[in-house]
Structure 1
Amino acid sequence: MIVYFASAACAVGVVALASMLVRRTRRATDDADPDGPTVSHAGAMLSALFLLAFAIAVIVPWTTADAARAGTYAETQAISETYWAAARLPPAQRDGVRSGLRAYVDTVRDPEWDLMADGRLTPAGWTLLDRVRRDVIAFEADDDELREARAGVLDHLGQITEARHQRAMDARTEPPAGLTVVTVVTGVVVVLLPFLAGASPRGATLVPLALMAALLAAGTYLTIDIARPFEGALAVGPEAFVELRAELQRIDGGG
């Protein structure tokens, strides 16, 4: 953060130095007009900077949310495949694996999803996956068919764990804090620029200025609201796990 402030201070110093040199080396025209070349140039650049920061602050979380949503469906697909693969195990091991997976789905769907808004996953989810994996590893396969079935279940469990790790990373992902600061600061400066330049809007001229300020404020709040993929307007919901629970019940019923 110190580097950002230092670079901003250097830029201000460059402006002050350039202004002093221009005045000393040649006769410069004073520019105190609110709609003069200085204000026009600064206003155009500030608007461009705000639009750039705003676009990045919207596109990055939007892309992250889409990837996180796709990741939840990939995780549920891996759980479903593991559930099917467990059918090749003996009844006791099959029921143990399926029971553990159902408990895992219920844990993710209910208590864990609320925690992900804060960038956290519940330890219970990891415990359930590890327990299922240990039970499958401890199962002694007597023939090649059972060994192949056990290997298939372990492979699918690895895919679930991988998808869970990715979901944990997605839950912690958010745009850099500096990007939010730049978006807010440039938005405020764009709104106040006419006043800073010495203009005094009155009457009907305040209407478009107020409308612009309202829209900028709404857009800036949007960039803050969608910063996390599991919280806010673009929040990824637990729909994939809700649908999976019904699918697991269908598999148990022989559907």
Structure 2
Amino acid sequence: MVAYALAIAAAVGVVALTAIMFRKLGKGTEDGDPGGPSSAHAGAMLSAMFLLAFAIAIIVPWTTADAARQNTHTEARAAIEAYWAAAGLPESDREQVRSGLHAYVKSVVDDEWPLMAQGETDPTGGERLDALRSQVASVESGSDKLDDAKGEVLDHVRDLDTARAQRVADAATTPPEGLLWLTVLSGVVVVLFPFLAGARPRGATIVPLMAMAAMLGFGIYLCWDIMRVFDGPLAVGPEAFQVALQEFARISAGV
């Protein structure tokens, strides 16, 4: 924060020092016109700054949400593959592993998803996967076929754990806080710029200014509303895990 303040102060100082030097040297001409070159240049740059900050504030959450949605499908698919692979385990172990996978996925849908809207996750999910991995590893080896089945289940559980770690990271991911403040500040300055430049719009000329202010306000609210991956208009839902639960039931009915 101190570095930001120093950078702003240095930039303002450069402008002030340059203005004083040009005045003392008698260079340039007086520019008090709201539509003059100084105002036109500053207005264009402020608009560009706002558009840049606004674009980043929209694109970053959008791409993060797309990646998180893809990762939920990867995690759910790993759970389904592990459920299938468990068919090669002895019957008692198979049922325990499948029960553990079902309990994990159901807890993600029912317990963990509401927490992720606040950027939090349920640590018991990781504990369930650790217990599941230990359970599969403890299955006694009796043949090459059984060893292959154990290895396949462990591989899928490992993939499941990796995808879960990414989902935990996605839940806590938000754009840099300074980016939203920059978007707000640049938006306010863009709206107030005609007044700051010395113009006093009235009558019909103030209508487009008010319309622009309304649209900027809505856009900035949208930036704030989509900051979290699992909350807001772009929220990633638990559909992939709900499909996994349906697949579990179908697989159990057939195997």
TM bracket (short chain): over 0.9
- Compare 244-253 and 25-34 and name the one that shifted more: 25-34
How do residues 161-176 of structure 1 correspond to structure 2 at under 5 angstroms? 161-176=161-176
Task: Flag as ranges the 4+ runs of structure 1 deviating above 4 A.
Answer: none
> For residue 241 of structure 2, what is the aligned residue in structure 1?
241
> For residue 76 of structure 1, what is the aligned residue in structure 2?
76
Distance 1:149 1:81 in 2: 12
> For residue 115 of structure 2, what is the aligned residue in structure 1?
115
Deviation of 1:138 after TM superposition, in Å, equals: 1.2
> For residue 136 of structure 1, what is the aligned residue in structure 2?
136
Deviation of 1:27 after TM superposition, in Å, equals: 4.0
> For residue 28 of structure 1, what is the aligned residue in structure 2?
28
Q: Which amino acid aligns with 1:172?
A: A
Residue 253 of structure 1: SS of its match in structure 2?
Answer: helix
Matched, 1:67 2:63: no
> For residue 96 of structure 2, what is the aligned residue in structure 1?
96
Distance 1:30 1:233 in 2: 50
Distance 2:224 2:59 in 1: 12
TM-score by length of 1: 0.98
Distance 1:86 1:205 in 2: 71
Distance 1:67 1:27 in 2: 55
How do residues 199-214 of structure 1 correspond to structure 2 at under 5 angstroms? 199-214=199-214
Residue 254 of structure 2: SS of its match in structure 1?
Answer: coil
Q: Which amino acid aligns with 1:170?
A: D
Q: 1:39 to 1:137 in 2, by over 3 A?
A: same
1:188-209, Cα deviation, whole Å (9 max, x unpaired):
0000001111111111111100
Distance 2:243 2:35 in 1: 59
> For residue 230 of structure 1, what is the aligned residue in structure 2?
230
Gap runs ≥5 in structure 1? none
> For residue 219 of structure 1, what is the aligned residue in structure 2?
219
1:37-87, Cα deviation, whole Å (9 max, x unpaired):
111110000000000011111111100000000000000000000000000
Gap runs ≥5 in structure 2? none
Deviation of 1:110 after TM superposition, in Å, equals: 1.2
Distance 1:27 1:157 in 2: 73
Q: Which amino acid aligns with 2:146?
A: L
Deviation of 1:172 after TM superposition, in Å, equals: 1.1
How do residues 135-154 of structure 1 correspond to structure 2 at under 5 angstroms? 135-154=135-154
Corresponding pairs, count: 255
Residue 106 of structure 1: SS of its match in structure 2?
Answer: helix
1:160-180, Cα deviation, whole Å (9 max, x unpaired):
000000101111111111111
Q: 1:143 to 1:27 in 2, by over 3 A?
A: closer
Distance 2:56 2:151 in 1: 44
Distance 1:144 1:241 in 2: 32
- Compare 125-134 and 84-93 and name the one that shifted more: 125-134
CA RMSD of aligned residues (A): 1.0
What percentage of residue pairs aligned between the two structures are identical? 56
